[in-house]
Amino acid sequence: MRFLKRSLLAVLLFSISFSSLAWWGVNGHRVTGEIADYYLTKKARKAIKEILGEESVAMSSNWADFIKSDSTYDYLYSWHYINSKGGMSHDEFTSKLLADTGTNLYTKTNFVISELKNNKQLSQEKKVLYLRLLIHFIGDLHQPLHAGGRPEDRGGNGIKVLWFNEPTNLHSIWDDRLVEFQKLSYTEFAKNINHVSRQQRLEWQNQPMTEWFYESYQVSQGLYADITQPDQKLGYDYNFKYAETLNKQLLKGGIRLAAVLNEIFG
The contact set with ligand ADE (CB under 6 A) reads: 80-81, 83, 145-146, 149, 154-155, 157
What does 172 interact with, of Zn ion, ligand ADE, none (CB < 5 to 8 A by kind)? none
Residue from the set 30, 80, 150, 256 that interacts with Zn ion by CB under 5 A: 80
175 binds Zn ion (CB under 5 A): yes
132 binds, among Zn ion, ligand ADE, none (CB under 5 to 8 A by kind): none
Between CA 39 and CA 258 the distance in angstroms is 6
Residue nearest to ligand ADE (CB): 155
Task: Give residues 13-32 in contact with Zn ion (rule: CB under 5 A).
Answer: 23
Asked if 241 and 227 touch (Cβ cutoff 8 Å), the reply is: no
Rounded to a whole number of angstroms, the minimum distance from the CB of residue 78 to ligand ADE is 8
Assess contact for 140 and 23: CB atoms under 8 A: yes
232-234 sheet: strands from edge to edge = 166-169, 160-163, 232-234
Contacts of range 187-194, beta carbons closer than 8 Å, 24 or more positions apart? 187/34, 187/58, 189/27, 189/31, 189/34, 189/250, 190/30, 190/31, 190/34, 190/35, 190/38, 190/58, 190/254, 193/31, 193/35, 193/247, 193/250, 193/251, 194/35, 194/38, 194/251, 194/254
Give me the least distance between CB of 228 and ligand ADE, in Å please. 21
Q: How far is the CB of 139 from ligand ADE (least distance, A)?
A: 13
Of the pair 155, 254, the CB lying nearest ligand ADE is at 155
Interacting partner of 154 out of ligand ADE, Zn ion, none (Cβ under 5 to 8 A depending on kind):
ligand ADE
Q: Which does 175 bind (CB under 5 to 8 A by kind): ligand ADE, Zn ion, none?
A: Zn ion
Among the listed ranges 72-80, 82-90, 122-130, 257-265, the one in contact with Zn ion (CB under 5 A) is 72-80
Residue 83 interacts with, from Zn ion, ligand ADE, none (CB under 5-8 Å by kind): ligand ADE
> Mapping DSSP to helix (H, G, I), strand (E, B) and coil, where does residue 142 land?
coil
Helix (H, G, I), strand (E, B) or coil at 59: helix
Which 3 state secondary structure label does DSSP give 155? coil
Which lies closer to ligand ADE via its Cβ, residue 60 or residue 104?
A: 104
Q: Rounded to whole angstroms, how far apart are CA atoms 246 and 259? A: 20
Length of the chain counted residue by residue: 266
Name the residues that contact Zn ion, by CB under 5 A: 23, 80, 140, 175
